[in-house]
């Protein structure tokens, strides 16, 4: 039996914290589908297509990882891929409350899909896409926060 998980997010842009969760998730599951959310309530810096391309550049060589954009409910995206698990990354205790509420909601909507929380590595506990964008906008060094290709894309877009 193939164990499939989805890792949904805006990934605007993908960070080293996200990549840490991706790599560990890829080891835990037979297939990991990264779902890049096109959220109409947010105004992203990068288009969905750009975000997918940035992710492919970083993890496209991982055979068990697939990257795809989606709109709507995560559980519907998971069901489309016959995933039984949703992976969510946690950086700090402050992430937990919102993630727990989302996990409970997803469980109500699709009881057959479970949420798995993975803590990011200690070195990434402070990293967020928002923080990376802010640091880049002021010309700061984002290399500890994002991969080199993303750092270049941020400089091109913001500086």
User: Catalytic annotation on 23?
Assistant: no
User: Catalytic annotation on 10?
Assistant: no
Q: Which of 3, 41, 51, 91 is catalytic?
A: 91
The answer for residues whose C-beta is within 8 angstroms of residue 133's C-beta and 6 or more apart is 12, 13, 45, 154, 158
Task: Annotate 79-100 with b (16+ C-beta within 10 A) or e (fewer).
Answer: bebebbbbbbbbbeeebeeeee
Q: Which of 51, 88, 129, 133 is catalytic?
A: 129
User: Catalytic annotation on 18?
Assistant: yes
User: Catalytic annotation on 107?
Assistant: no
Q: Which of 3, 42, 76, 155 is catalytic?
A: 42
Q: What letter does residue 3 receive in the DSSP assignment?
A: -
Q: Which of 18, 51, 88, 133 is catalytic?
A: 18
CA 72 to chain centre: 16
Annotated active-site positions, please? 18, 42, 91, 129
């Amino acid at each position: 039996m193939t164990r499939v998980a989805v890792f949904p997010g805006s990934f605007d842009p993908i960070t080293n914290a996200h990549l840490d969760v991706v790599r560990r998730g890829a080891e835990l599951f037979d297939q990991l589908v990264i779902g890049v959310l096109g959220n109409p309530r947010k105004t992203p810096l990068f288009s969905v297509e750009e975000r997918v391309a940035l992710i492919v550049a970083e993890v496209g060589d991982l055979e068990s990882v697939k990257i795809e954009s989606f709109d709507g409910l995560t559980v519907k995206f998971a069901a489309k891929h016959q995933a039984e698990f949703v992976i969510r990354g946690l950086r700090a205790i402050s992430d937990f409350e919102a993630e727990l509420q989302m996990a409970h909601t997803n469980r109500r909507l699709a009881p057959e899909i479970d949420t798995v929380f993975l803590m990011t590595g200690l070195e990434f506990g402070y990293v967020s896409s928002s923080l990376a964008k802010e640091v880049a906008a002021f010309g700061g060094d984002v290399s500890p926060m994002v991969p080199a290709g993303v750092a270049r894309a941020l400089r091109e877009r913001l500086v």
